[in-house]
Chains A and B, each alone.
Chain A
C-alpha cells in the first residue's frame, strides 16, 4: 500500500518528505510552556528520541537596534533594558561602556563600584530565574517559588534605587543616573549577606536530589571545541571547562580589583551548567560584598559636560553649566566620529555593543552581540540523539532570552 502511494506521487512532490515515515514531526513552540518565550523548534522524533531539532526564531523580533538608531544616544538606553529583560543593568552597562569608549571620558570611582554592584545583583537575579524555571522544567515546582522570593528582594532594591523593578535604565553613558543613598546600601548589604543561606536552600533541594542528578547529568553535551566553533560563551563555555570570563580577560569597571573565581566544570553537560551557575551566584555575592565594603564617596557622574549634564547647583554661578545643560537636553550627546565595541560578561555570556558615530546626536549604527543568539545555535548539537524530556532541560540550560535572540 505504501509503495503504491509513493509511486503515484507526482514528480514535483518527490523532493518533499515521503508521506509515510517512521518519525514524528512535531512543532514545539512558539506557544509551549517550556520554550522560554517564543522559541519554536521543529522537531523530528523517533518515539521519544530527538532525531533533528531546528530552532526557528524571529517571533519576538522588534527591530530594537533600528529603534535605537532612530533616537539620540541617551534615549537609546531604555531600549537596552528591553533586549535582555533579565539583565537590564548589564545591558545598560555594556551600552554605556561603548558610548563612553567613543567619548573616552573618565567615570568617577563611586560610579564604577556602583556599576559592579548593580551588574552583579542583576547576575544573581538572572541566575535565580534560571534555577527556578530550569528546575520547574524538570517538574520540581517548589524551587521556582523560592527563587522568585529572593528575586523579589532584588527587584525591591532596584525599585527603591531606580524607580523601576525591571526596566531600570540606571547605568547611563557618563555614570549612574543618580546616587545610591546610605540607607539603600545598608539594605543592599542585608540582602547580599542573606543570599548564601538561600543558595544553600536551593542546593539542598536540588544538588543531592537523585532524580535531579540523573535527569541533568550526561545530557546536552557541548564540548569545548564545538562551543568555541559556535561562538558560545558564558556558563555554557565554562561548563565545558574553559575559564573564559570577560570580567577576567578584558576587565572593565575595575573588575581586576576584586577577588573572585571563575567557576568551571569539566562535565560539559546540563549538570555542569547548573553547578557553574550556582557557583557564579556565590561569586557574585562575594563581589557585591567587596563592592559594598570599598564603596568610595564622591560623584557618580563624569565631569565631562559633553556626556552628562552638570549638577543643578552650578546653574546659579556658571554660564557654561547652563549652556551644557541646554545643549544636552535639546540636541543630546554628540560623540566624536568613530566606532567602538565593548563587551561585558552578562549572565549568559559575552554581551557587547558595537556603536558607530558620525559626530551627530543620533547613532549611525548600533549592533548588539547577544550571547543568547550565539548560544542558541548549539541546541541541535546538544539535543540530537537525546530524549524529548532532555530537550526541555537542554533549552533551560542554554537559558536563552528570546528578546536578545530576535532583537
Chain B
C-alpha cells in the first residue's frame, strides 16, 4: 500500500507545483517581454497583475470548444491530450532535491529516479511531436497542416542535436541516471565547464524543441496564422499552451540538471536552487524572443544538418576519445 501511496502523492505534488508554476511562467514572460518592449504588461488583475494568469485560465475554460466540421474528431480531441501528457511525463525523472528521510523511509525528491533517465526523456519528448502532427492534420485546415509539417521536420531534426548533446554528457558522467549526474556535479565541477559545446547545442536544440523564438516556425503567426493550433479554441487550445510552457520548464530544468548542477547549491534546500536555475533559462527564452527574428524553414534545416550536426558529432568524438584515454590510465 505504502509503495503505491507515496509515489502517487509525489506525482500529485509535482503536477500541482507544475500547474501552479506554469501560469506564472506566462506572467513572468509577459512582464519581462513588456519591460524589454517599453510596455507595462499585465498589471491590473491583482497585485502587479499576479492574478492575470488565473483570469486567462478561467476565460479559456469558459470559451466555446469548437470542432471544425471537416476535422477528424477523435484525433482532434486526442492531440492536445498527447501534448499535455508528453510534457508532464517528461518531468517524472527530473530530480528536484536530494533524498530526504521522512518517518524512517528514504523518499527521493523525484517521481521516478530511473536508471535510464536520459533515454526516457528523449523518448517521451519525441512523443510530443505526435500532438503537433496529429493536431495539425486532424484540424482539416491548410494552415494547420503546414504548421504540423513544419513541426514534424523541425522536431525530428533538432531531436538529433538534442540527443548528441545529451550523449556527450552521458559519456562524460558515465551514467544515464539523472540523480547520479547531479551528484557528480555536486562533488566535482558543473558540466557546463566540461561540456561547453554540448551546453550550447542543447540550448539551441531546446529552443527548437519547444517551438520558441527564433524557432517558432510551426506557429509563426505572420505566415501560418497560428500554425498547428489555428483551429483550436477554449480548453483544448489551453492544453497546447500549457504543454508548451511545461515543455519549457522541462527543458530548462533538464538544462539546469545536466549542466548547472541541478538542485545542488549552498544555503537553501534543493528545489529552490532548481527553480532559480530554471528561471535563468526562462529569462533566456524570453530574451531571445524579444531580440531575434524567426528563421526561415530552409535556414532552420540547414542550421541543424549542416552546422549543428557536424559540431555535435565532433564534440562527441572528442569526448569519447578523452573518456577512453582517461579510463585507460
Q: How far does the Cβ of A87 sit from chain B's closest Cβ, in whole Å? A: 23
> Does A228 count as interface, using CB distance less than 8 angstroms?
no
The contact size tier of chain A is 20 to 34
Interface class of chain A by DSSP: helix
Contact with A along B201-238 (1 / 0, CB 8 A): 00000000000011011001111110000000000000
Q: How far does the Cβ of B237 sit from chain A's closest Cβ, in whole Å? A: 17
Stretch at the interface among B32-40, B45-53, B92-100, B250-258: B32-40
Interface class of chain B by DSSP: helix
Contact with B along A382-401 (1 / 0, CB 8 A): 00000111111000000000
A209 touches B293 (CB 8 A): yes
Q: How far does the Cβ of B55 sit from chain A's closest Cβ, in whole Å? A: 23
Size of interface on B: residues with Cβ below 8 Å to A: 31
Q: With a CB–CB cut-off of 8 A, which chain A residues contact B222?
A: 33-34, 136-139, 392
Known: A24-B142, A388-B223. A141 touches B38 (CB 8 A): no
Known: A139-B292, A388-B146. A211 touches B214 (CB 8 A): yes
Alpha-carbon distance between A77 and B296 when the two chains are bound, in angstroms: 44
> Does B20 count as interface, using CB distance less than 8 angstroms?
no
> Does B272 count as interface, using CB distance less than 8 angstroms?
no
Of residues 288 to 329 in B, which have CB atoms within 8 Å of A's CB atoms?
Answer: 289-299
> Does A9 count as interface, using CB distance less than 8 angstroms?
no
A214 touches B299 (CB 8 A): yes
Q: How far does the Cβ of B249 sit from chain A's closest Cβ, in whole Å? A: 22
Q: How far does the Cβ of A205 sit from chain B's closest Cβ, in whole Å? A: 7
| CB < 8 Å A-B pair total | 83
> Does B137 count as interface, using CB distance less than 8 angstroms?
no
> Does A323 count as interface, using CB distance less than 8 angstroms?
no
B225 touches A32 (CB 8 A): yes
Known: A48-B146, A211-B295. A141 touches B37 (CB 8 A): yes
A215 touches B293 (CB 8 A): yes
Contact with B along A123-137 (1 / 0, CB 8 A): 000000000000111
> Does A146 count as interface, using CB distance less than 8 angstroms?
yes
Alpha-carbon distance between A137 and B214 when the two chains are bound, in angstroms: 13
Alpha-carbon distance between A138 and B220 when the two chains are bound, in angstroms: 9
Instruction: List chain A positions with a Cβ less than 8 A from chain B.
Output: 24, 26, 32-34, 45, 47-48, 135-142, 145-146, 149, 205, 209, 211-212, 214-215, 387-392
13 extra A-B contacts, CB within 8 A, seeds A48-B298, A145-B39, A215-B299: A24-B146, A26-B143, A33-B225, A135-B293, A137-B222, A140-B293, A145-B38, A209-B292, A211-B294, A214-B295, A214-B299, A387-B298, A388-B224
Of all A-B residue pairs in the complex, the 8 with the closest CB atoms, nearest first, are A139-B294, A34-B222, A140-B293, A138-B293, A145-B37, A137-B222, A139-B293, A389-B296
